Amino acid sequence: MILDVYIWWAEGVHLRPQPQRQRGMRHWSPAFFNELLEYAMPFDPQTDSQPVRSTALDAHLGDALMQITATVYAEMKDVGRESDPDTSLRIKYRKIGAQVRFVPGGEGFFNELRARINSAGWWFNFPAGAILPYVSLVPARLASADLKGSFLAGADLPNADLESADLSLASLWGANLRGANLRGANLRAAYLLGADLTGANLTEANLTEANLTQSHLRGANLTGANLRRTVLTGAELTHANLIDADLTDAQFDGRRPGPSTRFREA
C-alpha cells in the first residue's frame, strides 16, 4: 500500500543500517539508502558526473511520495478499520472518519518532514519557514500543524483540515483552500492574495493584518473571526458570514460588504 511506502520514508527506515542475524550472529547491513545513491549514478562510466548529495536524494524521494500518497487518498472513499491495529503506524498517518484523510506529518512531525524536503535546496532562498509551493495535499489533515512563515503559494488544499494550525506570516497567494477547515487557525499577517477560500470555515480564526486582496470568500464562515486591520480590498464576500467578527480598521474598498453578506455592527 502506498501509505506504507510513505511511512517507510517518513520514519527514515531507508536511512538506518539494518540488523541482520546469521547463525546466531548479529551484524548491521548498510542502509538501503546506499543502494539508492548507486542507482542515481549513470551506467556509462565515461559520463562526467558528481556524486548526489544524500540529503537531496532523500528530499526528492520524500516530495514525490508525499504528493503521490495525497493523490491516492484524494480518490479513496473507504478503508477497512480492521486494517489498522493499535500497533500499526498507519493510525498515525491517516485518519478514518466521515472522510479518509492522509496525515502527512504523522503525530506532529510535519515541520520536520518539510525540513527534509527543503534540504534539497531546489527553491529560491526564502527567509522564513519551509517551502512547499504548489504542493497538492487533498484532503490532508494538518490540524494544529506548525506552518508559521511557510511558503505555500498556489498550494492545492481543498477540504483540508487545518483547524488550529499556525499559518501566521505564511505566503498562500493563489492557494486553493475551498471548503477547508481553518477553524481557530492563526493566519496573522498571512499573505492570501487571490486565494480561494470559498465555503471555508474560518470561525474564530485570527486574520489580524492578513492580506486577503481579491480573495474569494463566497459563502465562507468568518463568525467571530479577528479581522482587525485585515485587507479585504476587492475580496468576494457574497453570502459570507461575518457575524461577531472583529472588523476594526479592516479595509473594504472604502465600503462595507453588500447586503448578501451577514455581519453585525459593533
Find out whether the peptide bond into 257 is cis, omega within 30 degrees of 0. no
Q: Give the mean pLDDT of 184-210.
A: 97
Are 116 and 185 members of one domain?
A: no
Write the pLDDT tens digit of every residue in 10-26.
Answer: 998 888 887 877 776 77
Predicted confidence (pLDDT) at residue 168 exceeds the cutoff of 70: yes
Last residue of a domain, one of 122, 147, 175: 122
The span from the CA of 7 to the CA of 249, in Å, is 46
To the question of pTM greater than 0.85 for the whole model, the response is: no
Residue 249: per-residue pLDDT: 92
Instruction: Evaluate if residue 163 carries a pLDDT over 90.
Output: yes
33-37, 70-74, 169-173: which is most confident: 169-173
Instruction: Give the residue numbers spanning the domain of 212.
Output: 123-266
Q: Kindly report, residue by residue over 30-56, the tens digit of the pLDDT.
A: 788 788 777 777 777 777 777 777 888
Burial class of residue 97 in the structure, from the number of CB atoms within 10 Å of its CB (0-12 exposed, 13-18 middle, 19+ buried): exposed
- Please choose, from the candidates 158, 134, 216, 145, the residue with its C-alpha nearest in 3D space to the C-alpha of residue 184: 145
Q: Please state, for a pLDDT cut of 70, what percent of the chain lies above it.
A: 83
Q: Of 207, 203, 201, nearest to 247 (Cα)?
A: 207
Give 82 or 79, the one with higher predicted confidence: 79
Q: What CATH number has the domain bearing residue 140?
A: 2.160.20.80
Residues 91 and 59 in one domain: yes
**What is the rounded distance in angstroms from the CA atom of residue 110 to the CA atom of residue 130?**
10
Tell me: do 152 and 258 sit in the same domain: yes
